[in-house]
Amino acid sequence: MTGRTVRVTVNGVAYERSVEARRTLTDFIRDDLRLTGTHVGCEHGVCGACTVLLDGDAVRACLLLAVQVDGREIRTIEGLERDGQLHPLQEALRDCHSFQCGFCTPGFVMTAVALLEEGATPTEEELREELSGNLCRCTGYQSIVAGVSEAVRRVNGDGGGASGDARRVEEISR
Amino acid sequence: MRMVGAKVPRVEDRRILTGRGHYVDDLQLPRMLHAAFLRSPIAHGRVTHLDVEAARAAPGVHAVYTGADMRELSKPIRSPLSQGAVPEVYPLVTDTVRFVGDLVAMVVADSRYTAEDAVGMIDVEYADLPVVMDYEAALDPSVPPLFADLDSNVVHTATKESGDVDAAFAAADRIIEVTLSQHRIANVPIETRGLVADYDAGSGELTVHAATQSPQGLRLQLAQTLDQPMDRLRVLTQDVGGAFGLKGNIFREDFCVPIASRQLGRPVKWIEDRNEHLMASGHAREERIAARVAVTEAGDILGLTAALDLDMGAYPGMPFSAASFTGVIALLLPGPYKVRGYRCDTRVVATNKSTYVAYRGPWAMETFTRERLIDMVAAELGLDPAEVRRRNLLEGADEDRLITGPTVRGITTRECLDRALERIDYPAFRTEQEAARAEGRYLGIGMAAFIENAPGPKEMRPGGGFTGGESAKVRLEMDGALTVITAQSPHGQGHETTLAQLAADEMGVPFDSVRVVHGDTRLTPFNIIGTGGSRAATWGSGAVMVSTRKLREKVLAIAAGQLEIDPSDLQIVDGVVSPKGVPGKEIPLARLAGQMTLMPQTAPPGTDPNLMAEERFTGEETTGSGWSGGVHACIVEVDLGTGGVEIKRWVVVEDCGRIINPAIVDGQIRGGVAQGIGSVLYERIPYDSEGTFLAGTFMDYLLPTSAEIPPIEIVHIESPDDDGVGFRGVGEGGMIVAPATLTNAISDALAPFGARVTEQYLPPAEVLRLAGVVGAGAA
Amino acid sequence: MKPAEFEHHAVDSVEEAVGLLTELADDDVKVLAGGQSLVPLLALRLASVGHLVDVNGVTELATIADGDGLAIGATVRHRQVERSPEVAAANPLLAAAVRRIGHAAIRNRGTIGGTVAHADPAAELPAVLTLLDGSVEVRGTGGGRTIAAADLFDGYFTTTLEPEELLTAVHVPALPAGTGWAVQQFSRRSGDYGIVTVLATLALDGDGRISAARVAYAGVDAVPLRSPVAETALVGQTASAELWTAVGHDAAVVLEPASDLNGSAEYRRHLAATLTARALQQASERAGVRA
């Protein structure tokens, strides 16, 4: 099997690697680029732990081949922090004690980043729907919904949407 | 500011939110190889032909191990803590496969891709053996045992009897009989199992990086089975992506990978994939209880008998086999209620399924059974289920005991029940329910109570219980920082935060200057369980508290000597020692520690300049009830058009004593409730009658998502404790009581149809069957 | 869970794709579009291929054309359809059905052509095509042809496409003005395939009588089904809750769904009856007349 060259920008850094055609994007990011913040939870596209942004869209990295991202731009959880400063989403998630074991975290974070960057101001029900493609086994989700709601409020404003959650966040943070 | 009791942001969060955690699969070592297993596709059979030569010859393959190879390289696997009949087992099967997923061969190759390619090149044939897939087959003495060296597929039996059973039943107005069952489910952490074994041929040292709840337990078992000297065996565990009891077990793969590393002299990584995980990592529950309850017309429960069967799958769990948990079920089944006569017979049977493992409150069958029975008693007698509970509850008075023995002084079940019903507005709900039924809408309310010995009253744990308590090490660094080394091995519980909160308060140092270290068997005190069994709150915390107090005493003695003042007149605030109320004589801890470390000879006479402490906490000083517990209540609406169940409210009233970090406690509760909801509505491990495994992907094993789990309202009762460590375990309670709560609510919603809910798994088709909307076999 | 080896061919044009499909026909070739169903099958080694022809770079397949109905290129992502103003205007039922596919991250990659060619019997889009008498365009070495939805689905995960043919576009007729529509689906969890999905359209005349009706199902057979029973029973009747229930029942009893872990045939028929009634109710509301 001959190697195929993949040139890709990840978190603003250009990489070039030779890979087998069958190599998944998750394995490429984690093992070839050594960006292990993106996690592998199921390798069949259900759990969402490997969610990354491909040209701005949230996608499952386990359902893409590395050869398919040649020339594209990817963002992973490692790219959110700027100059030692947490992204507002990360701050909100920390403030709301959103996560426990941290394994599903990268997927939720990248799913939520895409949502924030679209300018969304979802209601709690809409947000629960948006996040339902990511599985968490620790939290029962309430803290994650609260954390993302809080980030939405801080970044995109209330929009009449997430105020119920924001109240719940206040309760949680108090 | 006191840290204990505050919603302190977690220390762990910065790294996990920025993608800088360290999970075992993140490890890449130089020259590392990758393992993959050939697993049995059939439930029971003899391996009649196994040819691995093509796989061995494949490019990139470094080794292929068969059962015969492993038998040469390993002693039989035997847990020091096993109960019941234990067969001789090796890392890979030697001649017979006993469940779908059983380990037949192992390939070690340059990459996981290559290893899986080579697994596909192994030529194997099986001769089918008759399968044992249910209790009846396992109990049938004419069916040959799964293991030739065992007499029977019934591997353990026991009986617990207290009070006068015959008298209780003789005095009863009615006897209600029912068999309740709990289906097979699984822990399913989002991180699967995995380990990297790294044998250094130069030093003879084996280092095992493992996603485990118990590094010390794993190390002990590896040392025994692999004949590896313990001074040259180190287990390292950093971040672990959830476990819920699963990773407290030691598995046959855990021996294979280090053996391969030792043979090849190279690091070997094995990360379980999700298909392997669902099929073979282990499953939980699968129990049934045939119960008889003796009651009066007024609703007094006089007697209870129970016959428990537990299906443990083929291989005994390690280190705790399924039999360990049947005893807990028998102990706790009567729960916080008065019963005059009680008997529980337990049996553990072997079948051709994956191994039984502990899953968050492994004994939860007791709560499901008891709380379902109480609702059935209420229904049968035409009484209110809340009233039946109230009538029979133990009060927590000084003389109160479970009928099985332990005291329950100070339990708050009644208060929890009252608060839960008040919060959910029980009378208003009954009115609403009535009105809804008139419109053809079916609402239901469920409530359930549990208690858990976390840690249990003193008489249950003399000398610190079967582990003899727990130790921790604390060290004051030269810069005034405090290093806390815990025997806990957290995997999501946030102990780096909670133990730091405790240590900061005890020592009088800023929270940020405490670092909690765990997961390195070279440093951590021995603890065979690691983190599990709702033990950390009491034992982990207690160990850190007594050790920190000891260190503080040492520090104060030194400062007192230097200042020529009595130690009792000193305080430590924000990392500075000072005489109370006398400014200008402050000694920063950094200065004191620096001086004692660099110039220990300057220590005042009679003081110890070695600023470390390791104390064992045995719980002797704690005088609280020892019982965690609570009551949950939920409201559901059942859609008879689809069988769908909507959870409209979920209220938790919980008493786990003093709370270290409320946000973390709430997270533990909510996570447990979500798993309980999953068990009732979504999750089931299915086998067909031939033993074929039917849930190999996340499309088949359904974990609930954010759209299915409702907001969960939590009320805390911090029952007054004591002069010692007032923190009690909270990790398991949600999962213990949620299934009973939800099944009771669904049963209540279906009451107009005379539904009798005896199984815990209630998917839509089953709900409609119970309602009589579709016929039997619909599920 | 890693795929076995294969060759990957990224193509720029339909001609190149069709050429490769023909050339490699004897060598286990498959088209890779969104990959949201194919890649898991490869990872689980439930499917193995010698070659993947990756059509994601074929720009001519990535557009939505709005003329006589909607012509949606094969590699148009679900997300694009879901958010397209043209789709919303011409066929809101299609947009609603697409929103039921998986989760956002799946819809960001999954393609319209892929889901139709994959022909999962529980999938939404094949049912939409069946409901609305849509069609697909395919191209082979001998040129193109159009296959009507009724002739396309040939069994579980099977279509009447020839192995060397590439599905290039999906035609979905516009909903006539004033037509009410509904997508009713019941799944165990958010984002799962529906156990049963019911699609319906209704048109009412000035007297509140049903002048046209269509009902289609996914998840009740090997292929999506229209319900002649329901459609015949509806036309000419006056909208009412009783009618919806009766039609739902009559349409469901003739179905012959398979049993699986999610429930028996009987359960699926019950679901079909429930969802049909709910779909008709909702469609009638959208048609502007309350039942």
Annotated domain spans of chain C: 1-175, 180-286
C-alpha to C-alpha distance for C148 and C146, rounded to whole angstroms: 7
pLDDT in tens, C1-26: 999 999 999 999 999 999 999 999 99
Q: In terms of domains, do A68 and A139 share one?
A: no
> In the structure, what pLDDT confidence band is assigned to residue B735 with cuts at 50, 70 and 90?
very high
R_g of chain B, CA atoms, integer Å: 28
Same domain flag for A167 and A92: yes
Tell me, what's the pLDDT at C55?
Answer: 98
* pLDDT band at B79; cut points 50, 70, 90: confident
B531-539 average pLDDT score: 91
pLDDT score, position B83: 78
Using a 10 angstrom Cβ sphere, with 0-12 exposed, 13-18 middle and 19 or more buried, the burial of residue B399 is: exposed
Tell me how long chain C is.
291
Confidence of residue B722 (pLDDT cuts 50, 70, 90): low
**Chain A CB within 8 Å of residue C190 CB:** yes
Nearest CA in chain A to C35: A63
Which of A53, A79, A105 lies at the terminal end of a domain, its last residue? A79
ipTM given for this complex: 0.97
- Among the candidates A79, A110, A125, a domain finishes at A79
Can you tell me the distance from the alpha carbon of B242 to that of B735, in angstroms, rounded to the nearest whole number? 15
> How many contacts does A have with C, using Cβ atoms within 8 A?
87
Interchain contact, C104 vs A130, CB within 8 Å = yes
Q: Where are the alpha helices (DSSP H) in chain C?
A: 14-23, 38-43, 78-83, 85-90, 92-99, 104-107, 112-118, 124-132, 149-152, 228-234, 241-253, 265-286
Q: How far apart (Å, rounded) are the C-alpha atoms in residues B122 and B56?
A: 9
Question: Does A129 lie in the same domain as A58?
Answer: no
Evaluate the CA torsion angle A99, A104, A105, A110 in order and state its sign.
negative
pLDDT tier, B719 (very low <50, low <70, confident <90, very high otherwise): confident
Whether residue B112 lies within 8 A of chain C, CB to CB, comes out as yes
The residue ranking higher by pLDDT, B723 or B298, is B298
Quick one: closest CA in C to A108, which residue? C105
Grade residue B582 by pLDDT with cuts at 50, 70 and 90: confident
For residue B80, pLDDT beyond 80:
no
Between chains, do B273 and A145 touch, taking CB under 8 Å as contact? no
Cis omega (within 30 of 0) for bond into B710? no
Residue C175: pLDDT over 70: yes
Both tokens of residue B536?
């950390």
Backbone angles phi, psi at C79, to 5 degrees: -60, -35
How far apart, in whole angstroms, are the C-alpha atoms of residue C153 and residue C168? 16
Q: How many CB atoms lie within 10 A of CB B610?
A: 13
Per-residue pLDDT, averaged over B729-751, amounts to 97
Q: What is the pLDDT of residue A2?
A: 64
Q: What average pLDDT does this structure show over B629-647?
A: 98
Is it the case that residue A168 has pLDDT exceeding 70?
no
Closest Cα of chain A to C115: distance in Å? 15
CATH of the domain at A111: 1.10.150.120
Q: Is the pLDDT of residue B84 over 90?
A: no
When pLDDT is cut at 50, 70 and 90, the band that residue B723 belongs to is low
**Alpha carbon distance B490, B481 (integer Å):** 22
Categorize the per-residue pLDDT at B595 as very low, low, confident or very high, splitting at 50, 70 and 90: very high
Domain boundary pick from A48, A79, A110: A79
- Considering the domain architecture, whether residues A70 and A19 belong to the same structural domain is answered as yes
What's the token pair of residue B35? 């393992």
Q: Is the pLDDT of residue B227 over 90?
A: yes
Phi-psi region of C182 (alpha: psi -120 to 50; beta: other; left: phi over 0): beta
What distance in Å separates the CA atoms of residue C64 and residue C56, rounded to the nearest whole number?
Answer: 15
State the virtual CA torsion across C181, C187, C193, C199 in degrees, nearest 10: -20
High-pLDDT (> 70) share of chain B, %: 99
Q: Which of C85, C86, C80, C114 is nearest to C98 (CA)?
A: C80
A37 has a chain B CB within 8 A of its CB: yes
Residues A42 and A111 in one domain: no
Facing B778 at nearest CB: one of C40, C192, C264:
C264
Q: Looking at the 3D structure of chain A, how many domains does it have?
A: 2
Give the model's confidence band at A173: pLDDT under 50 very low, under 70 low, under 90 confident, else very high: very low
Q: Let me know whether A18 and A75 are in one domain.
A: yes
Cα B376 from Cα C197, distance rounded (Å): 37
For the cut 60, the answer to whether the pLDDT of residue A82 exceeds it is yes
> For residue A170, is pLDDT > 80?
no
Mean pLDDT of B156-161: 97
CB contact under 8 A, C2 and B113: yes
Co-location of A162 and A96 in the same domain: yes
Average pLDDT of the segment spanning A93-107: 98
Q: CA of B254, closest CA in chain C: separation in Å? A: 19
Mean pLDDT over the full length of chain B: 96
Q: Residue B466's pLDDT is what? A: 86
> In this complex, do A63 and C104 lie within 8 Å of one another by their Cβ atoms?
no
Does C263 contact B694 at a Cβ distance shorter than 8 Å?
Answer: no
Residues A108 and A127 in one domain: yes
Q: Are residues A124 and A147 in the same domain?
A: yes
Of residues B9, B192, B705, nearest to A132 (C-beta):
B705
Please name each of the domains of chain B with its CATH number. Answer: 13-129+188-280 (3.90.1170.50), 284-459+623-770 (3.30.365.10), 462-617 (3.30.365.10)
- The length of chain B is 779
CA nearest to A67 within chain C:
C8
Task: Name the strands in the sheet holding B570-573, side by side, starting at the edge strand that comes first in the sequence.
Answer: B570-573, B576-579, B587-588
Contacts of C44 in chain A (CB under 8 A): 44
> pLDDT grade, residue C291 (50/70/90)?
very low
pLDDT of amino acid C289:
46
Interface with A, mutate which of B13, B276, B359 (most A CBs under 10 A) = B13
Q: Grade residue B753 by pLDDT with cuts at 50, 70 and 90.
A: very high
Span C31-85, pLDDT tens digits? 999 999 999 999 999 998 999 999 999 999 999 998 889 999 999 999 999 999 9
**B639: number of Cβ within 10 Å:** 16
Query: A125 and A149 share a domain?
Result: yes
Give me the percent of chain B exceeding a pLDDT of 90. 93
Tokens read off for A36: 């292990």
Question: CB distance C267–B274 less than 8 Å?
Answer: no
Q: Which of B38, B117, B29, B113 is nearest to B70 (CA)?
A: B38
Segment holding B678, helix H or strand E: helix B662-681
CA distance C268 to C271: 5
Q: Which domain holds residue A45?
A: 4-79
pLDDT digits (tens, 9 = 90+) for B122-137: 999 999 999 999 999 9
Q: What class does CATH assign to C1-175?
A: alpha beta
CB contact under 8 A, A46 and B12: no
Question: Is residue B409 scored above 80 in pLDDT?
Answer: yes
Mark whether A104 and A165 lie in a shared domain.
Answer: yes
pLDDT at B625: 85
Peptide bond into B319 cis (omega under 30): yes
Residue A158 touches chain B, beta carbons under 8 Å: no
CATH 3.30.390.50 applies to domain C180-286: yes
